[in-house]
Every structure is written in structure tokens, then in C-alpha cells.
């Protein structure tokens, strides 16, 4: 009889305590700040740029030079010199960055000090967007094109950086000052910044890679050919691989890093034969190269989703990984 009485008492006590715990948990959940609603294809570009979660750097997600992009919403985004812009990729990029920023992660780094920016206000419009991968993995810097007039990151570097991060690599997308010289100086500074903050960023600096499309590809190639020191970045190792898209560069040096390149056969800006000739000459000089030309494609196809170039980034990553294993 006693046993039954105490069992009932214990059961009631557990129920009482469980009820209190449930109420406390519910109150805690209700007190948390609401998770920001995801952007949609119909979200206005201006709203994305000025979303409080991005702080002062949201304006750098899209070209600072407004004349080089068109469209009011994410699905209507157009960028000068670019084709095959995929609204779903754009949406995934901004939502990924927004979610990470809302979660307290650092997704943007200044590469210049306040003093340097005060001395040269153009440096205000520079920095690195960080697409973090696996801590301790190698890093890549992706450089968008834009004819050195603007930075077309939403098509030519953000998609690549996001894809690389999803493969586990730590990827950065550089927002640089227009102009060939200043762009290369900013890339050299970005490499220096990452090396100086490698522990904080949790990146492996060995056999890093430089990626670029159009003007961004020239930046990657020039830093590979001449090194960061030639552009004020100091004495740093050269990249383990350079990944280039659609730029008709001819010059190279015998100390160039291994180079992967791809282009469309209907590119009216970067002739595929010029690119092929350069890589063949580099190969004869003993530099490891890989070249692809895709049918029916013009300039600025980015990841090439839905085109004959779709999946090219997997070949490029495999090429980079080959250099890691040498």
C-alpha cells in the first residue's frame, strides 16, 4: 500500500516538473529574435544591399558603379558583359551570406586600415567576402571581371566561391578598385591579409589558388606571373594553381603556376584560339596546363549552369587538387 502511495506521489511530481520545464522552454524559444525571412527572386536589389544584417558592406554585393547593372529585383539582375546569369544562384548566394551573417559569422573583411582608406577613399570600396569551408582547408581567391571598369561579383566570383566552400575549401571573393594596376594591388593586399590572418581565418596557406574571369582572370594570371611583391604585397609564395575563364591574355613567364583555362567558342571578347595558344606555349615550357573550349557559348558564362560548360568547375577543382598532391 505504501509503495503505491509513494509511486503516485513521485509520478505527480515528475509531471509537475515536466510542465514547468516545458513552459520554460517555450518561453525561451519565444524570447529568441525571429530568424530573418529569406530573400526571394522578387526581392528588390536595393533591399538586399541595405539589409541591416549586412551592415555597411551590403552595398558591395552589387556593382558600386550603378550604370553597369540593371534590374530592380534579384531575378531581373543584368550585368554588363555577362551572359547566363542564373537567378537561383544569385538567390542562393545572398541567402547563404545573410544566414551566416545573422548567425554571427564574419562574412566580410576589410583589407585596408581606416587610415589607408582615409588617405585613398577609393579603398573604401574594397574587401573580401568570405565563404567559409572546412576549418584548416586550403583557400582560394575568386576575382570577378568587368573590364576593369566595375566588379561583376554576383556572376563571376560569388558563385565560384560558394561552390568551392560547399566542396570544403575556404573561398574568398575580392571586391577591388577598377583599373588594372589598382586591381592587382588589391589582390596582392588580399593575399597578404589572408596570410597574416591565417590562424584567425582557419585556412591552410599552402598551394592556394587564384581564380578569375575576364579581367579577373588577368589579375590571377599577373599575380601568378609576377608574384604579390610586384604589386606591393611583399614576399609571398605564388599560388599553387591559377584558374582562368575567358580572357585573351598572351603573355606568360616560365615561372608561371600551373594553369587551367576555359572559354566559349563564340566569345567575341576573348578569342579561344588566343587562350589555347598561350596554354600550349606554357605547356611546352614545362608548366602544367589544362584547356577547355565550350560550344555555343559567349563571354561571361560564370558557372555555366544549364549550358555546355556546366560542371567545368569540377574539372578545375580536380586540376587544383592535382597540384596539391605533387
For residues 55 and 1, state if they share a domain.
no
Give the pLDDT band (50/70/90) at residue 34. low
Separation CA 115–CA 108 (nearest Å)? 19
Q: Looking at the domain assignment, is residue 206 inside a domain?
A: yes
Same domain for 26 and 138?
no
Q: According to the model, what pLDDT value does residue 232 have?
A: 96
3-state SS of the chain: helix, strand, coil percent to 5?
45, 15, 35
pLDDT band at 83 (very low <50, low <70, confident <90, very high): confident
Q: In this structure, are 142 and 277 located in the same domain?
A: yes
* pLDDT at residue 12 tops 70: no
Percentage of residues in the chain with pLDDT exceeding 70?
Answer: 89
Contact (Cβ atoms closer than 8 angstroms) between residue 95 and residue 165: no
Q: Are residues 309 and 207 in the same domain?
A: yes
Question: Is 39 part of any domain?
Answer: no
Inform me whether the pLDDT recorded for 10 exceeds 50: no
Element containing residue 262 per DSSP (H, E): strand 259-264
* Arithmetic mean of pLDDT, 250-258: 95
Please give the share of the chain, as a percent, with pLDDT higher than 90: 87
Q: Both 267 and 230 in a single domain?
A: yes
Beta bridge partners of 173: 129, 142
Does residue 116 form part of some domain?
yes
Is a pLDDT exceeding 60 seen at residue 27?
no
Q: Does residue 38 sit within a domain?
A: no
> For residue 35, what pLDDT is reported?
60
Which of 14-23, 129-138, 212-221, 288-297 is predicted with the least confidence, judged by mean pLDDT? Answer: 14-23
Domain membership flag for residue 300: yes
What's this model's pTM, rounded to 2 decimal places? 0.89
Does the pLDDT of residue 31 top 60, yes or no? no
- Residue 85 is assigned to a structural domain of this protein: yes
| Conformational region of residue 108, where left means phi above 0, alpha means psi within -120 to 50, and beta covers everything else | beta
Number of domains in the chain: 2
Query: Is pLDDT at 28 greater than 80 in this prediction?
Result: no
Host domain of residue 172: 45-324
Distance CA 27, CA 235 (A): 56
How many whole angstroms separate alpha carbon 268 and alpha carbon 193? Answer: 36
Whether residues 13 and 127 share a domain: the answer is no
More confident position, 263 or 27:
263
Tell me the pLDDT tens digit for each residue of 269-289.
999 999 999 999 999 999 999
What integer best gives the mean pLDDT of the chain? 91
Is the pLDDT at 255 greater than 80? The verdict is yes
Whether residue 311 is found in the same domain as residue 270: yes
Q: Are residues 142 and 23 in the same domain?
A: no
Do 60 and 9 sit in the same domain of this protein? no
CATH value at residue 284: 3.40.50.1820
Task: Report pLDDT for 180.
Answer: 97
pLDDT band (50, 70, 90) for residue 2: very low
> Are 55 and 180 found together in one domain?
yes
Hunting for cell 582572370 — which residue is that?
217
Mean pLDDT of 149-156: 97
pLDDT, one tens digit per residue, over 259-274 is: 999 999 999 999 999 9
Statement to judge: residues 3 and 116 lie in one domain: no
Q: Is residue 105 part of a domain?
A: yes
Q: Is 36 inside any structural domain?
A: no
CB 91 within 8 A of CB 84: no
In 3D, which of 231, 240, 168, 235 has the Cα closest to residue 209? 240
Which pLDDT score, from 0 to 100, does residue 36 have?
Answer: 63
Shared domain check, 68 and 4: no
Amino acid at each position: 500500500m505504501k509503495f503505491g502511495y509513494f509511486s503516485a506521489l513521485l509520478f505527480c511530481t515528475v509531471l509537475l516538473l515536466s510542465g514547468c520545464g516545458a513552459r520554460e522552454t517555450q518561453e525561451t524559444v519565444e524570447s529568441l529574435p525571429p530568424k530573418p525571412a529569406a530573400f526571394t527572386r522578387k526581392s528588390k536589389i536595393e533591399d538586399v544591399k541595405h539589409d541591416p544584417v549586412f551592415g555597411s558592406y551590403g552595398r558591395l554585393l552589387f556593382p558600386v558603379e550603378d550604370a553597369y547593372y540593371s534590374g530592380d529585383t534579384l531575378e531581373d539582375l543584368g550585368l554588363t558583359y555577362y551572359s547566363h546569369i542564373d537567378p537561383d544562384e544569385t538567390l542562393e548566394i545572398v541567402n547563404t551570406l545573410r544566414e551566416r551573417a545573422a548567425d554571427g559569422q564574419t562574412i566580410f573583411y576589410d583589407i585596408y586600415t581606416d587610415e589607408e582608406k582615409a588617405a585613398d577613399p577609393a579603398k573604401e570600396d574594397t574587401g573580401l567576402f568570405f565563404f567559409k569551408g572546412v576549418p584548416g582547408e586550403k583557400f582560394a581567391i575568386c576575382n570577378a571581371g568587368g573590364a576593369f571598369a566595375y566588379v561583376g561579383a554576383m556572376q563571376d566570383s560569388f558563385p565560384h566561391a560558394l561552390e568551392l566552400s560547399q566542396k570544403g575549401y575556404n573561398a574568398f571573393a575580392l571586391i577591388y578598385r577598377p583599373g588594372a594596376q589598382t586591381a592587382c594591388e588589391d589582390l596582392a593586399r588580399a593575399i597578404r591579409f589572408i596570410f597574416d590572418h591565417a590562424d584567425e581565418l582557419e585556412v591552410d596557406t599552402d598551394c592556394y589558388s587564384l581564380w578569375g574571369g575576364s579581367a579577373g582572370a588577368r589579375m590571377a594570371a599577373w599575380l601568378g606571373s609576377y608574384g604579390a611583391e610586384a604589386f606591393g604585397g611583399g614576399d609571398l609564395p605564388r599560388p599553387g594553381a591559377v584558374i582562368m575563364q575567358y580572357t585573351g591574355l598572351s603573355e606568360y613567364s616560365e615561372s608561371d603556376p600551373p594553369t587551367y583555362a576555359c572559354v566559349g567558342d563564340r566569345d567575341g571578347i576573348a578569342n579561344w584560339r588566343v587562350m589555347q595558344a598561350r596554354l600550349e606555349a606554357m605547356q611546352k615550357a614545362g608548366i602544367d596546363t589544362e584547356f577547355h573550349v565550350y560550344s555555343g557559348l559567349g563571354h561571361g558564362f560564370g558557372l555555366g549552369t544549364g549550358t555546355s560548360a556546366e560542371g567545368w568547375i569540377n574539372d578545375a577543382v580536380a586540376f587544383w587538387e592535382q597540384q596539391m598532391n605533387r
